[in-house]
Structure 1
Amino acid sequence: MDHSQLMAEMPEIEKMTAQERIALAKERRRDQLRKCDERERSLPPPRPRRQRLRFSPEVALLEATGRADAAEVERLLREGANPNSHNEDGLTPLHQCAIDDNQQIMLLLLSHGADVNAQDTEQWTPLHAAACCAHINVVKILIANGANLLAVNADGNMPYDICDDETTLDAIESEMAARGITQAYIDDQRGAPEKAMLDDMKSLHQQGYPLDARQPDGSTYLHIAAANGYYDVAAFLLRCGVPATSRDNDLWQPVHAAACWAQPDLVELICEYGGDINAKTSSGEAPLDLCEDDTTRAVIATMQQQEARKKRLAFGVRDSRRQSRRQIVVEGGHSPNNPTKTAEKSDRYSISVSVTVLIVHRTKIAL
């Protein structure tokens, strides 16, 4: 009912008694509620309320550790969160504490069974992180709880290798000395990953499995050995006939991997077995384009020069052969179709040139 209708019926309402006015008001209220109910029934059903986004306890634990919220970390651990949970990079809460120098949460995690030697995707342990960041108190906590002093990361480094702080380094080396760790033992541990891979490759070879098997990304065992600097493994694979020019899904050859991860000895070895020092990836990158290490770049540049020299010598051989055939025809009267003397001379020249190339190659290596 609009305003004009109310004004029109006012004279009639004024004539009513109080009881009649109350009855009229109640009737109109009932009518109002009925219409409201009919309107609501005609509307589409309401959308269901969205459920709140909930994270797993493990994700929450990583997040709380990053915020240094000790109370939240303790609650999550008490409720059963896995102290060894990790993100896509393999970083555990203990790694995060080592980076942030958070001793309180580190002790909480260790008391709930956190793995003191957990490795991320680059095989860094919490001790690697603490040593690199020079957090000496965290280093001492980790060592006291059984941290591996000789853990080797993907770059072949142990915690003491990447520690630049003298005080922290002294603490690590003092513990190594107290445990009777010698340089020979350190060398054995550093070479353990390569030895393990070499043993695996030999076992596969003895059982008749192909050594050029490919991973989902198209890489081979030779790519892995080249990237990690496993010289003995790469040499074994190449001697067993694994192609030096195998390409992965991005057209990387093993020589690209060796160049990218600064393995100059592997670059030379792979090219000795036929690797292409000028090969291009799917992005058009040659090994030199992928290399940032000065020593490795110098090796690649030298090998490129050798390759260019070989091509020039090979071109000279072909040109000399053509000239020899023309000279024989003109001076000796022999036809090119009569190969007797021509073939004999060409073969001798080919042998002498091959020896020359070999001498040049060896000279460059000796230099």
Structure 2
Amino acid sequence: MAEHPELVAEMPAVARLSTPERLKHAQKRRAQQLKKWAQAEKEPQGSKVGAERKRRKRSDGNAKRVTFPASVQLLEAAARHDAEEVQHFLDSGISPDLCNEDGLTALHQCCIDDAGKVVPVLLDAGADVNARDSELWTPLHAAATCGHLHLVQLLIQRGADLLATNSDGNMPYDLCEDELTLDCLESAMAEQGITQEKIEEARGATEREMMAEIRQLVEAGADLDAPRGHGATLLHITAANGYAEAAELLLEHQASLSSRDEDGWQPLHAAACWGQVQMVELLVAHGADLNGKSVLDETPLDVCGDEEVRAKLLELKHKHEAVMRSHHRHKSLLQRRTSSAGSRGKVVRRVSVSERSSLYRREHEREAIVWQRAARRDSGDDDDDGQTDAELRRRAAAADPPAPSPPRNGSALCPHGPGTGATVHPVPDPAPRHHLPATLPDLKRHRAATKLQHLPGGDAATPVGRGDAGDAGGTGGTGGTGDGTGEPPLLKLTAPAEEPPAQKQRCCKVM
């Protein structure tokens, strides 16, 4: 049989072999081992004793002994239900509340394994009946979960806390599925006067204590993200335990959502792992990273084992991705608009104002021209005050002696009346087309001034001749009776008299 150093030396070579080759090699080594063992059995007993003595001599002074901590010895004895050995350890001064790395005491172990003989020994030695492990389980939680009725009764008699809550917020009766054991717990709670209000108050006691601690830290200006056990922060703890109010208080004071514990977990990892749906929604609403990765490249979705929480995480992830896509599209659109605006937008606005002003001016000019044409076609239309030209002439005739009827605009008047043989001199239009009034208010003012000239007692008593083009209120070119006795003609919608005509044209060429 090969020696141990030889076997260790050939391990790299064996690792490179294929599976069938490794199997053959193992069979070969096993055959050698059996052969060596058979030879050793044939040797006399004396040789064995001599060999043992030689081995002891070689190891003299270098002997090694394996020892275990007292906690391990006590737990091992309790797991074997060895009440005598447990009593021996306790008599030697070992504490009954020693625990392992998970906070599990010997009393926890005995309540799990139903070691009915060891539990009284531990309790008589002063073991803490309400000791808590790393997940805040008490021995009563363990006994109620396992349905060990007699242990539950014994623990209640020794003062076990019926309202003790574990890290999940569960009490012993919440975890009990055995009917008889549950009846025992509920009866004990009724005897102690425990009501539903007390139960709810006990459930929220831990969170209230944490909120009081958070307020003290805020008042002192301390760091809310200071790492605690295993590098976890207060937000990690609240997320894992589902303390929504405490988490809101932390987030209100800017607790970090990206802080990591020793495993690289963020608070959202803890909430997802422990199935806290409300905490998952709260953290994501405040901006927690759904794709944050731990040291092992695990996202919150990877560490989630609860189907409800997993479905919620997927829903939130899809919504977040949709919102981000919409945000990117809107952002890119704004960038394109900004880049294409520049100084061109200002030029467009200036041009728009100029075009509007020009448009208004052109509309006014067109409106004035329409009024002029309508007045020329029909001189008998109503004026602004509702009076026709005929009515105005009748009023003027009643005030003055009869005179020949005034001709239309641009015609010459004969001083002796018709049929006298006088030469008729056509009078040109007072102003060319480009000197006509530009707006409707100008036309109306000019029309009103013309009416005043024909009213009795007005300034129109003096006729306006062809040479009075520059007089105020005159028309400059309409003409009247040569001797001043004729009625001045009505001027309809003509240009103001202030501007003399650039050139004289016949009336037939005005329109």
Instruction: Quickly name the TM-score band, shorter chain normalised.
Output: 0.7 to 0.9
Bigger drift between 64-73 and 161-170 goes to 64-73
Superposed CA offset, 1:259-298 (max 9, x none): 1111111111112222112222232222111111122112
Where do 5+ consecutive residues of structure 1 fail to align?
A: 1-43, 330-334, 343-367
Aligned to 1:336: 342
Query: What aligned pairs does 1:268-347 form with structure 2 within 5 A after superposition?
Result: 268-321=281-334, 324=337, 335-337=341-343
1:65 equivalenced with 2:78 (yes/no)? yes
Aligned to 1:168: 181
Aligned to 2:109: 96
Alpha carbons of structure 1 residues 49 and 242: separation in structure 2 relative to 1, 3 Å: closer
Q: CA deviation at 1:151?
A: 0.9
Alpha carbons of structure 1 residues 338 and 282: separation in structure 2 relative to 1, 3 Å: farther
Alignment partner for residue 191 of structure 2, among 153, 167, 178?
Answer: 178
Query: What aligned pairs does 1:244-259 form with structure 2 within 5 A after superposition?
Result: 244-259=257-272
Q: CA deviation at 1:45?
A: 9.0
Q: 2: CA distance between counterparts of 1:263 and 1:129?
A: 23
Q: 2: CA distance between counterparts of 1:105 and 1:212?
A: 44
Query: What aligned pairs does 1:221-260 form with structure 2 within 5 A after superposition?
Result: 221-260=234-273
SS of match in other structure, 1:88: coil
Where do 5+ consecutive residues of structure 2 fail to align?
A: 1-56, 349-511
| Higher Rg | 2
Higher helix content, 1 or 2: 1
Asked whether the 8 Å contact 1:119–1:125 carries over to 2, the reply is: yes
Q: 2: CA distance between counterparts of 1:124 and 1:284?
A: 31
Alpha carbons of structure 1 residues 84 and 278: separation in structure 2 relative to 1, 3 Å: same
Q: 2: CA distance between counterparts of 1:297 and 1:45?
A: 63
Q: CA deviation at 1:246?
A: 2.2
Asked whether the 8 Å contact 2:81–2:117 carries over to 1, the reply is: no
**Would you say how many aligned residue pairs link Structure 1 and Structure 2?**
292
Q: 1: CA distance between counterparts of 2:246 and 2:77?
A: 43
Aligned to 2:123: 110
Alpha carbons of structure 1 residues 289 and 104: separation in structure 2 relative to 1, 3 Å: same
SS of match in other structure, 1:103: coil
Q: CA deviation at 1:174?
A: 0.5
Asked whether the 8 Å contact 2:231–2:261 carries over to 1, the reply is: yes
Q: CA deviation at 1:81?
A: 2.0
Alpha carbons of structure 1 residues 306 and 136: separation in structure 2 relative to 1, 3 Å: same
Alignment partner for residue 264 of structure 1, among 264, 270, 277?
Answer: 277
State the one-letter code of the partner of 2:77: A
Asked whether the 8 Å contact 1:58–1:85 carries over to 2, the reply is: yes
Bigger drift between 242-251 and 221-230 goes to 242-251
SS of match in other structure, 1:307: helix
Aligned to 1:136: 149
User: Hey, which bits of structure 1, 4+ residues long, moved more than 4 A?
Assistant: 322-326, 337-342
RMSD of aligned C-alpha atoms? 2.3
SS of match in other structure, 1:156: coil
Q: 2: CA distance between counterparts of 1:97 and 1:302?
A: 44
State the one-letter code of the partner of 2:153: K
Alpha carbons of structure 1 residues 66 and 46: separation in structure 2 relative to 1, 3 Å: closer
Asked whether the 8 Å contact 1:245–1:274 carries over to 2, the reply is: no
State the one-letter code of the partner of 2:288: G
Q: 1: CA distance between counterparts of 2:91 and 2:240?
A: 42
**TM-score, normalization: structure 2?**
0.54
Query: What aligned pairs does 1:9-28 form with structure 2 within 5 A after superposition?
Result: none
Alpha carbons of structure 1 residues 67 and 312: separation in structure 2 relative to 1, 3 Å: same
State the one-letter code of the partner of 1:231: A
**TM-score, normalization: structure 1?**
0.74
